[in-house]
Amino acid sequence: MKHFWVFVSITSLFFTNSFAQKPDKFTSAELFHEVQKLNFLGTALYVAAHPDDENTSLISYLSNHEKARTVYLSMTRGDGGQNLIGSELAELLGVLRTQELLAARHMDGGEQRFTRAIDFGFSKHPNETLKIWDKEKVLADVVWAIRNIKPDVIINRFNHRTPGSTHGHHTSSAILSMEAFDLTNNPEVYPEQLEWTTPWQPKRIFYNTSWWQYGSQEAFEKVDKSGMVRLDVGTYYPELGLSNNEIAALARSQHLCQGFGRLTDRGSSNEYIELLKGDMPKENDVFDGINTTWSRVQGGKAVGDILYKVEENFDFQNPSKHIPELVKAYQLLQKVEDEHWKTLKSEELKKIILASAGLYLEASSGSSSATPGSKAIVNIEAINRTAPSVTLKEIDIVGVDVKLTPNTVLGDNQRENFELSFTVPQDISFTSPYWLNEPGTLGTYTVNDQSLIGKPETPSAFKAVFTLVIDGVEIPFEKSVVHRYSKPDKGELYEPFAILPEVTSKIDEKVLIFANADTKEVQVKIRAGKNDVSGSVELNHPSGWLVSPSSIPFAIAQKGEEISVAFNITPPNAESEGKIEPKITLGNKVYGKELVEINYDHIPKQSVLLPSEAKVVRMNIKKSGEHIAYIMGAGDMVPESLEQIGYQVHIVDPNDIQNGDLDKYDAVVVGIRAYNVVDALKFKQPVLFDYVEKGGTMIVQYNTAGRWASQFKNIAPYDVTLSRDRVTDEKAEIEILAPNNSLVNFPNTITKKDFDGWVQERGLYFPSKWSGEFTPILSMKDEGETEKQGSLIVAPYGEGHYIYTGLSFFRELPVGVSGAYKLFANMLSVGKDEVKKDSNVKG
């Protein structure tokens, strides 16, 4: 027998600001909207690459105007890039953005899916993207998504015909979607998927074009649009009290970590979708010629006969009047053989039955988490607030042997409460994003369970099934077990009920640099997942390193409490790097995970379990100078990194600096994008240049070449033109153009080897032109491009030195890349080798 696996999620409701785990509650107008959606049997799939790529106006229009099931397939979870609201980066940022997408879909009525592809950073060309992603794997996931979702129409956000014109991930999403369109119906392609699903042929595929494809609005107006469908997405929904673009703005504003809080647009506005494959629809209707009524399903006509009448005669004052018809339709739907529609529409119908009856069912725990083997208590609430004749037959917790059989009639507006207690199975999976359970590659996550691939999140640990008998018909309703609690300043709150290890550990500093052979103390935090935890902790370490003591015993009385223990670490004399990993022994079990909690008001709390570890690096690094002034830009971890190699870093506010204030510093470093974001710098350049003239060193890290460049030209004391040149291949070959320059000789000798182990990219926004006073130090290029020489340029100015660098030190230093540290130490030491130079001429 085939294990049919259908994507089902229940989303709707536009009005809750923070949906978190809060139960949906419908007004009768919203309920009517749901009935209209129930009676539309068509599906649209929107395809792009990242969280925020999706056109929420179009998704909302398809979902709320067309009433279609609308799914956004994002290739990645947006792991790369910046975070404007917190410290989560990389895989943790992917977890946060996944939840922001779910919050957006909750607003616009769509659903959310993914592939295993990772957002590994900027990519210039789809050829590079598809190599790193492992094209076959991600194409399989796109085919898998289409076979499961079974869309009638697919709409690509990006153009598959213009590689190189946008992020390589964008073009790749469209290329994969186009290829998958021709493969999904062929049973010989990825046949292993057919154990779970069936082949499927979508009818049409479109490209969601826009004027920016043509350069300007005026140019777009002149384009022949006979091959395009025009959709007015400004439509107003009276039953929701919102226009489509107001809903779209609410959805888009969920992408808070990307700073997408938006103003609302109202009024008529057009979207154009260009037909790529399939036949051209008439009347600007993407579903033209597709049967989207109940008669498309064998046995569905009888269901439709009932449900269309409910829609036609919908009673806004008393929706519970429709319960007998809805229940009858449910009964008929169970006889339908088409598993896909039966599963989808049964879930929608059950949601409508619950809401029409004013039935409220909840399974909650007063505790936020439990550990394997511990006792869990689940509180059950069931209440019937309108409909006659509802019996609560039984309540079953899926996966554990516990069942209640109250067999009780739910009296009119009489609340029933029960308590269920059970032992959490020892072999249960922990609550953590499933795609982070195994180590992945640079381009894709490893997911061994095919049934999980594409799901937005890990299914909840426990589900309660309420079996009700309504109007004589037995219907099961499934509810995730949640943690319900209240806070005086926030009211009632819901969060996922998590299964966590008995003990977790954490080293706060993820990279420890040893610039000499001195011993350093390292704190290991230990957190109890249950009461009365006692055991011992050891620190795995690379050979040649010494750790004392070898083991530390500990005891923690309270669940959730955290203690700290200290180890002394002594590095070897020679250069060496590796990992230190806390291993905690409780009885005969060893625990090695760190628990990271991601907690914001606009998403449900996320528990993420990662390997507990820190990187240790012993580097023989020489430096000159001691005190560094740092002017923060858009935010980077460079100051903390420089402190690790023994500098004293002083953060200075550019508003406060006057001539002479900086003279006490050995160097002034300007943080990333400072000239883009710190207005005061525009007026402080003379102060900074005065400092350089008197013998100081000024180092400016990358700024974006944007509009400001034309208004503000004096980023350096001589002419420099910033450009969009970047080298994204972190392994790109380096040529040292000025082998005799102090930057590659003093106090550390820099060779090509120092460019090994860099991450994500070489650098970005390099200058493309500079005046003759500057010396370019390095040359590098991405495949198929010309050599870029502007990554690191230096010029003497007065008695001092000015350096501009687009190299990605802000990425390399925090992850402990030793060559990047040595090069940065040389930049800070420039000019301090004059004495040495006189006696030992290096040219």
Question: What residue ranges bind Zn ion (CB under 5 A)?
Answer: 50, 53
Q: Helices 323-333 and 300-312 sit at what angle, rounded to 10 degrees?
A: 160
Q: Which is nearer to Zn ion, 53 or 128 (CB)?
A: 53
CB of 19 to Zn ion, least distance (A): 24
Peptide bond preceding 747 in cis form (omega within 30 of 0): yes
Instruction: Count the neighbouring beta carbons within 10 Å of the beta carbon of residue 263.
Output: 6
CB of 598 to Zn ion, least distance (A): 22
Q: Taking a C-beta distance cutoff of 8 angstroms, is the pair 206, 276 a contact?
A: yes
CB of 53 to Zn ion, least distance (A): 4
CB of 255 to Zn ion, least distance (A): 11
Taking alpha carbons only, the member of 323, 448, 467 closest to residue 382 is: 467
CB of 803 to Zn ion, least distance (A): 33
Distance CA(703)–CA(736), nearest Å, equals: 23
DSSP state of 257: G
CB of 50 to Zn ion, least distance (A): 4
At residue 136, the 3 state secondary structure works out as helix
CB of 220 to Zn ion, least distance (A): 21
Q: Which is nearer to Zn ion, 80 or 496 (CB)?
A: 80
CA distances to 491, 599, 601 from 488, rounded to whole Å, are 6, 18, 15
Outline where DSSP puts E strands in 481-544. Answer: 482-487, 491-496, 498-499, 503-506, 511-514, 520-528, 533-540
Q: Which is nearer to Zn ion, 49 or 500 (CB)?
A: 49
CB of 117 to Zn ion, least distance (A): 12
CA distances to 8, 11, 123, 278, 496 from 14, rounded to whole Å, are 19, 10, 35, 34, 21
DSSP state of 258: G
DSSP state of 322: G
Q: Which is nearer to Zn ion, 121 or 300 (CB)?
A: 121
Q: Which is nearer to Zn ion, 118 or 699 (CB)?
A: 118
CB of 467 to Zn ion, least distance (A): 45
Burial of 320 (0-12, 13-18, 19+ CB in 10 A): buried
Q: Which is nearer to Zn ion, 348 or 761 (CB)?
A: 761
Q: Which residue has the closest beta carbon to Zn ion? A: 50
* Those residues with Cβ within 8 angstroms of residue 272's Cβ, 6 or more apart along the chain or in another chain: 208, 209, 210, 225, 228, 229, 230, 231
CB of 119 to Zn ion, least distance (A): 8
User: Strand 369-370 to strand 498-499: parallel, antiparallel, or no bridges (unpaired)?
Assistant: parallel
Q: Which is nearer to Zn ion, 55 or 70 (CB)?
A: 55
Taking alpha carbons only, the member of 768, 766, 770 closest to residue 719 is: 770
Burial of 413 (0-12, 13-18, 19+ CB in 10 A): exposed
At residue 132, the 3 state secondary structure works out as helix
- Scanning 75-133, the segments in alpha helix (DSSP H) are 90-108, 126-133
Number of H helices, E strands in the chain: 18, 44
CB of 173 to Zn ion, least distance (A): 9
Q: Which is nearer to Zn ion, 166 or 536 (CB)?
A: 166
Q: Which is nearer to Zn ion, 74 or 253 (CB)?
A: 74
Q: Which is nearer to Zn ion, 53 or 812 (CB)?
A: 53
CB of 75 to Zn ion, least distance (A): 9
CB of 170 to Zn ion, least distance (A): 6
What's the chain's length in residues? 843
Q: Which is nearer to Zn ion, 124 or 484 (CB)?
A: 124
User: Strand 69-74 to strand 111-114: parallel, antiparallel, or no bridges (unpaired)?
Assistant: parallel
Distance CA(240)–CA(315), nearest Å, equals: 16
CA distances to 492, 493, 599, 707 from 489, rounded to whole Å, are 10, 11, 16, 43
Q: Which is nearer to Zn ion, 50 or 605 (CB)?
A: 50
CB of 174 to Zn ion, least distance (A): 12
Q: Which is nearer to Zn ion, 50 or 69 (CB)?
A: 50
CB of 615 to Zn ion, least distance (A): 30
Distance CA(321)–CA(332), nearest Å, equals: 19
For 370-417, the DSSP string reads: E-TTSEEEEEEEEEESS-S-EEEEEEEETTSS-EE---EE--BT--EE
Q: Which two tokens stand for residue 389?
A: 């004749």
CA distances to 316, 626, 668, 687 from 665, rounded to whole Å, are 73, 8, 7, 14
CB of 634 to Zn ion, least distance (A): 19
Q: Count CA atoms within 13 Å of residue 139 on its CB side.
A: 19
Q: Which is nearer to Zn ion, 158 or 746 (CB)?
A: 158
Burial of 583 (0-12, 13-18, 19+ CB in 10 A): middle
Distance CA(477)–CA(395), nearest Å, equals: 10
Q: Taking a C-beta distance cutoff of 8 angstroms, is the pair 501, 559 a contact?
A: no
Q: Which is nearer to Zn ion, 53 or 141 (CB)?
A: 53
| H or E, element range at 775 | strand 775-776
Q: Which is nearer to Zn ion, 50 or 602 (CB)?
A: 50
Q: Which is nearer to Zn ion, 170 or 483 (CB)?
A: 170
CB of 163 to Zn ion, least distance (A): 15
Q: Which is nearer to Zn ion, 50 or 726 (CB)?
A: 50
Burial of 662 (0-12, 13-18, 19+ CB in 10 A): buried
CB of 52 to Zn ion, least distance (A): 6
